[in-house]
Structure 1
Amino acid sequence: MDRLKGEQVDANLPSRFDYLLIYEYDIAERCKQVGNSALHVKLRATGGTETKTLGPGAQSALRALARSGMKIGRIEDVTSIPSDCTGRKKGRCGGRL
């Protein structure tokens, strides 16, 4: 996904995740041209001190890959999880306890 969102779609789409589907179909077409018919997928959320759950576009992106005829091998979650005491950002109002 080396292109910007504006190069693929208009700004007047009803859903903000529609451009992800367009990217997925584009990736599937490129893979078919090269000769790849199967993919291993790595999904990543923000991680760290932010949310560790995947966003709403992840499931629809996988569906788009499957619908376009690609075989999906492994689905791996590669979200970074801190192993130390990294603190969240705190505002002034609720940060003092």
Structure 2
Amino acid sequence: MVVVVVVVVVVVVAPARVVMVVVVIFEVVVVIVVVVVVVVVVIPIVVVVELVQIVMVVVVVVVVVVVAVVVVVVVVEAAAVVLLVVV
């Protein structure tokens, strides 16, 4: 909710280039957070489970993370473009 308000305020007040910079920074932060979460979640799993399961878990987690990052980036980019067009 707060992020939406901040984004709307930035879009209304700031010029288009500043908005795109904010969007890119937001995307980078999202990617970093996702990577950190994956490392924090995957490492304990890797320590606990057997070798064969490790490979499957890592593959599934990597696929899920890639899809999640792509979806977030696409949604944020689309929202930024829509807001820029509307404003």
Could you tell me the TM-score, scaled by structure 1's length? 0.31
Could you tell me the TM-score, scaled by structure 2's length? 0.33
Higher relative contact order (CA 8 A, sep 6+): 2
Greater strand proportion: 1
